[in-house]
């Protein structure tokens, strides 16, 4: 899988101490994005699932955050990372520039698998005119923090 980078102990990408995995590739190209270097679908570096799983062995972690770029540009690979995180008793936050409605409408098997393996989805494109620092874990006020289990009840 193509990875832009990893932050081993993040406190800004979800609640608690988190492993943040920045997937390479994004098709949204939001104006003002703070990670534009992650947009190129051909950029980043190749990493294996095993290499990423090694970072999960930190007993201080409360969760993992799949971000980027957009993990839904590599949904099958991101799904396997999320599945391994759950095996390590870590919760999974997933960021995407898509809305949850767009993901469901796509009805893509790999995207749906990643969506349902996520515990929390932060959805929607970053909109510079709606930039906010008042809502934890989002960049703009249009983005939503969605509890996936509750959403699909």
pLDDT value at residue 34 = 86
> Considering the domain boundaries, does residue 63 fall inside one?
no
> Considering the domain boundaries, does residue 65 fall inside one?
no
> Considering the domain boundaries, does residue 133 fall inside one?
yes
> Considering the domain boundaries, does residue 126 fall inside one?
yes
> Considering the domain boundaries, does residue 21 fall inside one?
yes
> Considering the domain boundaries, does residue 64 fall inside one?
no
Mind listing the pLDDT tens digit of every residue in the chain (153 residues)?
Answer: 999 999 999 999 999 999 999 999 999 999 999 899 999 999 999 999 999 999 999 999 999 999 999 999 999 999 999 999 999 999 999 999 999 999 999 999 999 999 999 999 999 999 999 999 999 999 999 999 999 999 999
pLDDT value at residue 60 = 96
The domain in which residue 18 lies consists of: 2-55+70-151
φ, ψ of residue 113 in degrees (nearest 5): -65, -45
> Considering the domain boundaries, does residue 32 fall inside one?
yes
Q: Are strands 120-123 and 91-95 parallel, antiparallel or unpaired?
A: parallel
> Considering the domain boundaries, does residue 42 fall inside one?
yes
Q: Are 28 and 123 in contact (CB under 8 A)?
A: no
Q: How many domains does the chain have?
A: 1
CATH number at residue 49: 3.20.20.70
């Amino acid at each position: 899988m193509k990875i832009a980078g990893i932050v081993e102990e993040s406190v800004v990408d979800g609640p608690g101490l988190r492993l943040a995995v920045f997937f390479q590739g994004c098709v949204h190209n939001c104006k003002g994005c703070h990670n534009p270097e992650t947009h190129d679908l051909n950029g980043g570096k190749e990493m294996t699932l095993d290499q990423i799983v090694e970072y999960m062995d930190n007993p201080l972690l409360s969760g993992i955050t799949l971000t980027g770029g957009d993990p839904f540009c590599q949904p099958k690979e991101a799904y396997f990372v999320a599945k391994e995180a759950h095996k390590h008793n870590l919760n999974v936050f997933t960021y995407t520039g898509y809305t949850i409605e767009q993901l469901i409408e796509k009805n893509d098997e790999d995207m749906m698998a990643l969506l349902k393996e996520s515990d929390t989805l932060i959805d929607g494109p970053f909109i510079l005119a709606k930039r906010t620092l008042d809502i934890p874990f989002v960049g703009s006020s249009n983005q939503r923090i969605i509890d996936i289990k509750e959403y699909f009840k």
